[in-house]
Structure 1
Amino acid sequence: MTLWTVVSAQKSKFKVMPIKNKKKVPIFLGELILGNTSAGPRPHKFKVYKEGKGEYRSPEEFVDLLRMSNRIMVVNGEYDEQESDFFEMLKGYQLKGEYVNACRHCLLKNRFNFVNKKSIRYHNELICEDCAKGELENALNNAQYRYSEEAIEHLKQLLIKTRDFDRTLGMLNPETIDSDLTRYDTIESNPDVSTIKIDDIPINKKFKQHLQKKSEYLLPVQSLSVQKGLLDGNNQLVMSATATGKTLIGELAGINNVLNKRGKMLFLVPLVALANQKYDQFTKNYSHLGIKTSIRVGSSRIKTSKTASMRTTLDSDIIVGTYEGLDYVLRTGDADKLGNIGTVVIDEVHMLEDAERGHRIDGLISRLKYTVPEAQFIYLSATVANPEWFSQKLGAYLVEYEYRPVPIERHLVFSDDSKKVNLITKLVKDEYSQYSSKGYRGQSIIFTNSRKNCHRISDALPMSSAAYHAGLTGYERKKIENKFQNGELPAVVTTAALAAGVDFPASQVIFESLAMGIDWITMQEFLQMLGRAGRPDYHDRGTVVLLATPDKNYTGEQKLTEDEVAIQLLKGEMEHTGVEYGEDENMEEILASSALTTSKSDLKAIHNKFIGGYGFSQFFNQLKKYKFINQKGEKIYLTKFGKIAARHFLSVTKAFLIRDAVLAGTEPINIVTNLEFFDSVYFKHASRISRTLKVNLPARVFQGGTIDILFEGENLSKLDESLQDQIYEFAEDFLTCNCKDSPYCGCPEHKFSSKLISLRAEGNDPEEIIKQLEIRYGITAYVGDLYDYLDDVIRNLDAVEQMAKAYSKKDIAKNAYTLKRNVEGSG
């Protein structure tokens, strides 16, 4: 047994702690008072405490304790004279003692622990790890916010890492970014991967010369793809981080096939903005090789100077399109117009797991496999949760490269919402002041959860920046993309919804929020977003910063808080959710595929290729019962009703709504506004109204109790006359109905949507429409949203027209056609 006796001098006595076997808790707690004798200082009184009760013992017992001790330790303290007396007493008994440094906090708790240079600095002293953690917990419990268990554990780990309590505590309310402290981890690159020389790969000579102007070697993932048979025609699922060169893998196969007369290339993406970017890139890069590029982005028919200048014919070597844009060609029975397809590239293929669009992407892939069975399919993604499963389902070789092209530092900062803009300002400013070894300035993408916040944050930054989201016009987005590409913008502020979209060559990604709308972002979305940081052609490293607000959530139903979400995202792995569709989705896809074949067995084969499809016979029989499909023996064909539903991406439910409205003689404008409202409209002066009324008025006009707030009591009379006039105009035009549950009956949205369509039909551009709304009603909208809505109106009017023709409703068909042409701008 090892026995230590620890003595700590106090004002008029000594605390005594006998320690057995180096434990921190003493066998008992004692008190010693020294007395002066002719022989020098000697024990005068010795008291022992056990279970809170004190009992005096003979001073000789204390001396016996000292004689039995392996070590006698005197804690370095502030009572030098008393400590000297104790050592003199030891000398009188021919015993030796030693000075030690002990944790003062432990001593106060009647415990013992050594401190040394490796202990944790606490204000102006050193304390042990246990006490430092305890003090940290106390500080967190008394902080402004409630910190999650994950956040507390993370801060404890930082405490151990820094060995500095005050520095760690600075994480709770940072005025500046301590990068050594906020750094959560570093994801290293792997530069030692063998690559293939471009000169050694068997591709078209002109294409090879074009590639060699940029590089002598392929990138690692490109080399892996070639080694796994890319140029032999193998189908591949390429799983690799953003900026590792996946797009060129599709081009290596596709452009080579084009130049060697082995068929066109389809390059399909999820977003119009991304399709526009790829169209511009391919046009610029390959026109000199005699390759023609065109674009298909759905049935967008709003006439603008931009769309008029883009090549949209199917008679091109490269057809860039959105998933829906190309699927429209198949659904309308025009598959033959695609010609000979040699390569199909599906970018962002993880969208198969998207709840809303997944079934259509799945259906598109299966329809393309049936239409162009000899084509080579290349699937690209940075984030697939279960790549082996996906590659098997897609019938493709898996090419997986897990390394980033440049190292990326990930940082976690706890911050109050009110201080985020100041922190973002510093982060953006510091990043923009730095140049990479390639000569490029550091630029930042700031992700937030709403379009409103995009503008709020961008307006608040004291340097040049831009809000970027789908609500902008294509021209506005293109302008921002070009300025960022040219290094003229230190930052763009965008929404999580565009995480997988346009390629901004940013060196830094900042998460102002970890939500998309009111929902926390998923692991897959997070990886897509952080993957935007650091491009090998521009940067030496990437930086990702998460600004997490403790105790924050967006709805009362959310169990997690933002600090918990942040740590789970940094620690977590993606969950494979699988791919499943409901009845409506399955029937829509069977209906769409019926446009390609008259063979029931072929239709079943297409459906069986779906990753998430099931129950073919059940859904096929329902479609027959509903008169979408007719069957004669093994031959099948779409009815007029079925053709209309298939080509217009109508669900069974929506198709019936249109048909029934047409048969009832409902006017086309009423049919389309009943199908879809335009509710993305905002009070232009919402913040001003909120300040005047001293309430938090929701910005969206048709959200929650917005209208109730405005018309409650004397609220309107508190506003200035111009605002009152605008709100009264709005009420007079849109809130006058006799419905029992007005204004929550849908009539205001219906009337407002009709107004928008009428203004467009009168020849007003979307920009002019929004100006009129602002002047007359004091409300506004994003131009891009209005373009999207009018596109939907045109598709629905087209469906109404075709449905009216099918059921001999000539007047409705004529009115739908006229209105459609006017909304298009062709009237």
Structure 2
Amino acid sequence: MTLWILASPERSKIIILPIRDKKKVPLFVGELILRNTDAGPRPHKFKVKSDGKGEYRPPSEFIDLLRIADRIMIAKDGDEKQTSEFVEMLQGFQLSADLVNACRFCLLKNRFNFLNRRSIRYHRDKICEDCAREELYRMLKSSHVNYADEACQRFEEIMLKTKDLDRTMAMVSPEDLDRELTRFDSIAANTEVPTGKIKSLPLHKSFKKILLAKSETLLPVQSLSIENGLLKGQSQLVTSVTATGKTLIAELAGIENILRGKGRMLYLVPLVALANQKYDQFTKRYSPIGLKTSIRVGSARIKTAKNASMKRTLDSDIIVGTYEGLDYLLRTGSADLLGKIGTVVIDEVHTIEDSERGHRLDGVIGRLKYVAPGAQFIYLSATVAKPKLRAKQFGARLVEYEYRPVPIERHLILCPEHSKNKIMTRLVREEFATTSSKGHKGQTIIFTNSRRNCHRIAEGLPISAAAYHAGLTSQERKKTEIAFLKGKLPVVVTTAALAAGVDFPASQVIFESLAMGIEWLTMQDFLQMLGRAGRPDYHDRGEVVLLAVPNKKYSGDKGDTEDAVALKLLKGEMEHTKVEYGEDEQLEEVLASVAVTSSKNDLQNIHSSMLADFNVDYLLGKLAKNKFIHKKGDLVSLTKFGKIAAGHFLSVSKAFLIRDSVLVEQDPIVTVSNLEFFDSVYYKYANRISSALNVNLPSRVFQGASLDILFEGENMDKLDVTLRDQLFDFAADFLTCNCRDSPYCGCAERKFSEKIISIRAEGYEPEGIVKKLEYLYGITAYPGDVLGYLDNVVRNLEAVEMIASAYSKRDLSYRARSLRKQVEG
């Protein structure tokens, strides 16, 4: 057992702390008062405090305590006079003491701790780690922000790393960014895998010339792919982060297979925007060597003045399409029109795990394997949790390249909502002011959680910025893409939904939000978005910045807050998702597969190659019972009803709804507006209304409380005359039903959907429809959303038309056909 005595001199007394076995809490707290005698300073009074009580003890006991101590220490920076007298007193008893650096915060709490190299700077002084930690958490709790535990731990990590509490606490008000402290981690570039020479590849001469015009060498992942049999027809699952060269792998296989006479290339993508971009790229790149490119996406059904120039016929060498756009050909029995297929490319194949669209991608892959058994399948993704398992399921060889082509830094900034625009402005300007060694300016993508926020942020930044999302027309999106590619646009603000694939060579990615809609980003979503930062052909490094608002939630009172989610994403790993579908989705896929084969055995083979488990016998039995298919021994075929359902992507339940509406001869416009509402509509003057009513009005027209707020009491009287008249017209046209649950019964959305269809039938293009809605009702929408909705209306009207014909409802079929042609334009 060791005993230390620490003396802490104050102006009128000396605090005495007896320390046993180097513990921080003393045996007791003593107070010593000295007096001057002829022999020098001597103990006059000695009070011992313990358990909140004080007791005076004989001064001789204090001297005895000093004599048995293993070490006597005096805290530096104490009262100089008291320190001098205490030292003189010790000398009088032939004792000595060491001057020590003790934590002053500990002394104030009657504790003891040395200051050392681990001590923390605070107010031009140093305190021990324990006191710094206590002070940090005290300030965080008193900052009027309820930081998540994970965020508090992050602050603590930064404090311990920097040894500076003041600098750490400055992050609570992050307008003056300290990039050293916001940096969460750095990911080094890795190019250890050898790269091959393009000129040595066994490629068609004209194709090689195109490739050599861009580069003489292959990127690492491309070399790995070729080593694994890419040019020998080997199907592959290629997993590598964005900008490592996956697309060229698909082209190497697809274009060479075309030139060798092995068949066309089908290039499937999840988004119309991405399909448009690939169509433009392939057309420009390969038309000089005589290859034709065409596009197949859903919105091809709606004719507008601006989309007429795109080639959509199937007599092309390269067919780019959305998953559904190409599956439509299979579902309608038109697989023969695809001709000889040499290569099938499935871009962003991780979409197969999506709860809504996954079953359709799984289905189209299975059906394409059946109709093109000799084709080479190339699956591309930046985010696959268990790539070895997925490759085995796809029947492909895995080509995995785990490292980035350029280094990347990831930063976390915990900030209040009102600081975001100022922070983003600074980050965008600083990035745009840099130029890489390749001669490209730094450009930024900002991800947010909604389309409205895209515009709000883009308009709020005092620098040239553009909103970009699926609600815009393809022409608007293309204009933004070109401006960005030319380096003229510093920043694009987009949604998480467009994280995959669309080619914006950005050096910096900012997460303004960590949600998609009102749901937190998944790890896969986050990695897809993060992967957009840094391109080897353009940049020397990538920057990723997360702006997280402490205590912010997007739905409900439960669950994580944004600061906690940020740290989970930065520290997390992807989770493998088992692919499973509900019975309705399984029935739809089996029905779609009957369109490509009449053999029950072939159906079994198609669905055994898919990722989900299908009980084909059971599902065929149910489809037969409900008159979607005919069964005769081992042969199956679609009924008229089944053909319509399969070709129009109708679930079994949706097909029944259409059939029932046909049998009661419901007006086609009512049927299709009931099948799917158009509710992506917003108050054009939401800010003006909010200011006038002094409330925060939700911008979406059909969102919960917005209708209640507007039409409550005397609220309408507070608005200007024009706006009030527009809203009264809206109420008169759409809010006049007698349902008990009005306006939440669905009637308003249905009537509004009918209005959209009716305006289109008058000859208005999507942009014109939006302008008319703004004029009539003071509400607005995005032309791209209108276009997508009308495309679904066309398909549904066609289904109504055909089902009506199948049930001999000729007049109804004629009316559905007439309306369909008007909507198609």
Shared fold, TM over 0.5: yes
Letter in 2 for 1:774: E
Letter in 2 for 1:413: I
- Which piece of structure 1 moves more, 349-358 or 707-716? 707-716
**Within 2, Cα distance between the matches of 1:811 and 1:574?**
55
Q: Report the counterpart of residue 316 of structure 1 in structure 2.
A: 316
Q: Secondary structure at the match of 1:308?
A: coil
Q: Report the counterpart of residue 99 of structure 2 in structure 1.
A: 99
Q: Report the counterpart of residue 40 of structure 2 in structure 1.
A: 40
Shift of 1:384: 0.9
8 A Cα contact 1:761 1:819, kept in partner:
yes
**Within 1, Cα distance between the matches of 2:9 and 2:807?**
102
Confirm or deny that 1:424 pairs with 2:399: no
8 A Cα contact 1:258 1:342, kept in partner:
yes
Q: Report the counterpart of residue 481 of structure 1 in structure 2.
A: 481
- 1:17-56 to 2 correspondences below 5 Å: 17-56=17-56
Aligned-residue RMSD, C-alpha: 1.4
- Which piece of structure 1 moves more, 146-155 or 191-200? 191-200
**Within 1, Cα distance between the matches of 2:497 and 2:265?**
27
Shift of 1:5: 1.8
Q: Report the counterpart of residue 2 of structure 1 in structure 2.
A: 2
Q: Report the counterpart of residue 496 of structure 1 in structure 2.
A: 496
Shift of 1:181: 0.4
- 1:447-526 to 2 correspondences below 5 Å: 447-526=447-526
Q: Secondary structure at the match of 1:607?
A: helix
Superposed CA offset, 1:141-200 (max 9, x none): 111211111111111000001111111011112112110000000111113332222233
**Within 1, Cα distance between the matches of 2:701 and 2:54?**
74
Superposed CA offset, 1:625-675 (max 9, x none): 001010122111100000000000000001111111112111211111111
Superposed CA offset, 1:681-727 (max 9, x none): 11111111111111222222222132222221111112111111111
Q: Report the counterpart of residue 287 of structure 1 in structure 2.
A: 287
**Within 2, Cα distance between the matches of 1:500 and 1:545?**
18
- 1:147-162 to 2 correspondences below 5 Å: 147-162=147-162
**Within 2, Cα distance between the matches of 1:549 and 1:563?**
6
Shift of 1:78: 4.1
- 1:240-251 to 2 correspondences below 5 Å: 240-251=240-251
Shift of 1:212: 2.0
Shift of 1:561: 0.4
Shift of 1:264: 1.2
Confirm or deny that 1:412 pairs with 2:405: no
Q: Secondary structure at the match of 1:300?
A: helix
Confirm or deny that 1:223 pairs with 2:223: yes
Letter in 1 for 2:648: H
Structure 1, unmatched stretches of 5+, are none
8 A Cα contact 1:586 1:613, kept in partner:
no
Superposed CA offset, 1:15-69 (max 9, x none): 1122233222223322222221111112222233333333333333333333333
**Within 2, Cα distance between the matches of 1:503 and 1:155?**
36
**Within 1, Cα distance between the matches of 2:210 and 2:682?**
49
- Cα separation, partners in 2 of 1:204 and 1:794, compared to 1, 3 Å: same
**Within 2, Cα distance between the matches of 1:788 and 1:358?**
19
Q: Secondary structure at the match of 1:307?
A: coil
8 A Cα contact 2:436 2:538, kept in partner:
yes
Superposed CA offset, 1:217-272 (max 9, x none): 21111111111121221111111101111111111111111111111111110000
Confirm or deny that 1:624 pairs with 2:621: no
Q: Secondary structure at the match of 2:301?
A: coil
Q: Report the counterpart of residue 121 of structure 2 in structure 1.
A: 121
**Within 1, Cα distance between the matches of 2:443 and 2:292?**
33
**Within 1, Cα distance between the matches of 2:287 and 2:67?**
95
Superposed CA offset, 1:717-769 (max 9, x none): 12111111111211222222333333223222222211211111111112112
**Within 1, Cα distance between the matches of 2:21 and 2:226?**
65
Letter in 1 for 2:259: L
**Within 1, Cα distance between the matches of 2:629 and 2:387?**
36
Q: Report the counterpart of residue 699 of structure 1 in structure 2.
A: 699
Shift of 1:112: 1.0
**Within 2, Cα distance between the matches of 1:804 and 1:159?**
71
Q: Report the counterpart of residue 146 of structure 1 in structure 2.
A: 146
Q: Report the counterpart of residue 764 of structure 1 in structure 2.
A: 764
8 A Cα contact 1:511 1:545, kept in partner:
yes
**Within 2, Cα distance between the matches of 1:215 and 1:718?**
65
- Cα separation, partners in 2 of 1:90 and 1:499, compared to 1, 3 Å: same
8 A Cα contact 2:118 2:128, kept in partner:
no
**Within 2, Cα distance between the matches of 1:355 and 1:655?**
21
**Within 2, Cα distance between the matches of 1:36 and 1:44?**
9
Letter in 2 for 1:545: V
- 1:173-322 to 2 correspondences below 5 Å: 173-298=173-298, 300-322=300-322
**Within 2, Cα distance between the matches of 1:206 and 1:341?**
21
8 A Cα contact 1:273 1:501, kept in partner:
no
Shift of 1:118: 4.6
**Within 1, Cα distance between the matches of 2:368 and 2:191?**
38
Q: Report the counterpart of residue 564 of structure 1 in structure 2.
A: 564
Superposed CA offset, 1:429-484 (max 9, x none): 11111111111111111111111111111111001001111111111000011111
Q: Report the counterpart of residue 577 of structure 1 in structure 2.
A: 577
**Within 1, Cα distance between the matches of 2:48 and 2:311?**
95
Shift of 1:117: 5.5
Q: Tell me the matched-pair count.
A: 825
**Within 2, Cα distance between the matches of 1:487 and 1:256?**
32
8 A Cα contact 2:262 2:342, kept in partner:
yes
Q: Report the counterpart of residue 538 of structure 1 in structure 2.
A: 538
**Within 1, Cα distance between the matches of 2:683 and 2:709?**
13
- Which piece of structure 1 moves more, 637-646 or 497-506? 497-506
**Within 2, Cα distance between the matches of 1:751 and 1:147?**
45
**Within 2, Cα distance between the matches of 1:294 and 1:369?**
21
**Within 1, Cα distance between the matches of 2:215 and 2:710?**
63
Q: Report the counterpart of residue 824 of structure 2 in structure 1.
A: 824
Shift of 1:299: 5.7
8 A Cα contact 2:348 2:501, kept in partner:
no
**Within 1, Cα distance between the matches of 2:13 and 2:551?**
47
Letter in 1 for 2:725: D
Letter in 2 for 1:235: S
Q: Report the counterpart of residue 809 of structure 2 in structure 1.
A: 809
Q: Secondary structure at the match of 1:438?
A: coil
Confirm or deny that 1:641 pairs with 2:641: yes
**Within 1, Cα distance between the matches of 2:290 and 2:533?**
34
- 1:624-773 to 2 correspondences below 5 Å: 624-773=624-773
Q: Report the counterpart of residue 364 of structure 2 in structure 1.
A: 364
Letter in 2 for 1:496: A
Q: Secondary structure at the match of 2:803?
A: helix
8 A Cα contact 1:115 1:127, kept in partner:
yes
Q: Report the counterpart of residue 601 of structure 2 in structure 1.
A: 601
Letter in 1 for 2:812: I
- Percent of residue pairs identical: 64
Q: Secondary structure at the match of 2:300?
A: coil
**Within 1, Cα distance between the matches of 2:545 and 2:721?**
46
Q: Report the counterpart of residue 349 of structure 2 in structure 1.
A: 349
Structure 2, unmatched stretches of 5+, are none
**Within 2, Cα distance between the matches of 1:228 and 1:22?**
64
8 A Cα contact 1:297 1:322, kept in partner:
yes
8 A Cα contact 1:299 1:328, kept in partner:
no
Letter in 2 for 1:420: K
**Within 2, Cα distance between the matches of 1:748 and 1:118?**
66
**Within 1, Cα distance between the matches of 2:170 and 2:648?**
57
**Within 1, Cα distance between the matches of 2:66 and 2:504?**
73
**Within 2, Cα distance between the matches of 1:15 and 1:191?**
63
- Cα separation, partners in 2 of 1:501 and 1:557, compared to 1, 3 Å: farther
- 1:774-785 to 2 correspondences below 5 Å: 774-785=774-785
**Within 2, Cα distance between the matches of 1:654 and 1:141?**
53
Shift of 1:96: 2.2
Q: Normalising by the residue count of structure 1, what TM-score does the alignment of the two structures yield?
A: 0.98
**Within 1, Cα distance between the matches of 2:47 and 2:715?**
75
8 A Cα contact 1:8 1:74, kept in partner:
yes
Superposed CA offset, 1:487-506 (max 9, x none): 11111111111111411111
Q: Secondary structure at the match of 1:160?
A: helix
- Which piece of structure 1 moves more, 413-422 or 35-44? 35-44
Shift of 1:378: 0.8
